[in-house]
Amino acid sequence: MPTPTVLIAPDSFKGTHAATVVAQAIADGMRGIDGRASESALPLPIADGGEGTADVLVAALDGVVVPRAVSGPLGDPVEAGFALLDPRTAVVEMAAASGLTLVPPERRDAYAASTRGTGELIAAAVEAGAEHVIVAVGGSATTDGGLGALEELDRRRTTVRLSVICDVDTPWEDAPRVFGPQKGADAATVRRLEQRLDTLADRAPRDPRGVPRTGAAGGLAGGLWAFHDAKLLPGAAYVLDAIDFDARLAGASVVVTGEGALDEQSFAGKAVGEVAGRAGRAGVPCVAVVGRSRLSAARAGALGLDRVIEASTLEALRAAGREIAASAAVGGA
């Protein structure tokens, strides 16, 4: 009997493990079951537009990373870069230049944090020959409506076709309230951020208020949409299509996905929900390996998950792989 194929497609465990690391640890656990498991474990790291998106696209599409030193969220220089998927298509991951992980908790300043470095990366990609720039927005330290990036693009007279892949559906006006506190904003700062976004929206060529996804990355998505006619796309669906996920899913008996925290946000365009939905439509059982779960068994089932395993350390991820391989070997998830 042939060994069942298990497609291992996790997102990153944000702030802890990259998607590639999670996928490999689960695969290593599966390979500990028997010799056949090495063929059945197929790692396919995924992303939803947030941290790690560029790495996933580069790995799946044989892209190359071009390093650049740019302005960090608070103006300090940071080592970042853009990726070329082909000579005319680039990926810029805003978290690499303007991400929350670049700012220590004690220095977080939601009002001062700027997307200028992201604008520098977009301009650098265009100068390298890119005619289409895919901007992955998520994990930002900023709530400037993309003002820093817009000013940099204007200064360098950069024009290019932009696609923005978003990890949330939040509209422009909700970004300060929803995301500001995790970036260091108190109630008074949230109100200042709301006023700033209103002022920017008032002078935009088209109004981003009320438009889904314009609030992603503290309004960077909306700023690029309003001033540079960027196309806003759901991140998880975009990435899965780009890496030909459905074709790989067609040959699987089980799909394993995962993320750091499984919660109600997983229903709102996150990678786990997208994978579970596609697996359900294909009739393939779906298991989630997550750092922690805040969903009841019924809610996890409503998301399309047949099973949830909590595992936050690398050893626990390998143990989850062994558990999944044992279940798959007897024909169940």
| Model confidence band, residue 138 (pLDDT cutoffs 50, 70, 90) | confident
Q: Which value, in Å, is the radius of gyration of the alpha carbons in the chain?
A: 20
Parse the chain into domains and list their residue ranges.
Answer: 6-46+245-329, 53-236
Let me know if 39 is exposed, middle or buried by CB neighbors in 10 A (0-12, 13-18, 19+).
Answer: exposed
C-alpha 110/C-alpha 274 separation (Å) is 30
Note the CATH number of domain 6-46+245-329. Answer: 3.40.50.10350
Query: pLDDT per residue over 59-111, tens digit each?
Result: 989 999 999 999 999 999 999 999 999 999 999 999 999 999 999 999 999 99
Cα distances (Å, whole numbers) of residue 182 to 99, 197, 275: 12, 18, 27
Mark out the alpha helices in the chain (DSSP H runs). Answer: 19-31, 37-40, 53-61, 94-98, 116-127, 147-155, 175-179, 187-202, 220-228, 235-242, 245-249, 271-282, 297-303, 314-329
Residue 89 pairs in a beta bridge with 86, 132
Distances (CA, A) of 278 to 218, 230, 236, 265, 281: 29, 27, 11, 18, 5
Structure tokens at 331: 């024909």
What's the pLDDT score for residue 1?
38
Amino acid at 84: L
- DSSP annotation of 283 reads T
Q: What is the pLDDT of residues 224-268, one digit of tens each?
A: 999 999 999 999 999 999 999 999 999 899 999 999 999 988 887
How many other β-carbons are positioned within 10 Å of the β-carbon of residue 59?
15
Task: From the options 3.90.1510.10, 3.40.718.10, 3.40.50.720, 3.40.50.1100, give the CATH code of 53-236.
Answer: 3.90.1510.10
The answer to whether residues 262 and 308 touch, using CB atoms and an 8 Å cutoff, is: yes
pLDDT band at residue 330 under the 50/70/90 scheme: very low
Would you call 268 helix, strand, or coil by DSSP?
Answer: coil
The model's pTM is 0.88
Q: What's the longest Cα–Cα distance across the chain?
A: 66
* Contact status, residue 41 vs residue 324, Cβ threshold 8 Å: no
Burial class of residue 164 in the structure, from the number of CB atoms within 10 Å of its CB (0-12 exposed, 13-18 middle, 19+ buried): buried
The pLDDT of residue 331: 46
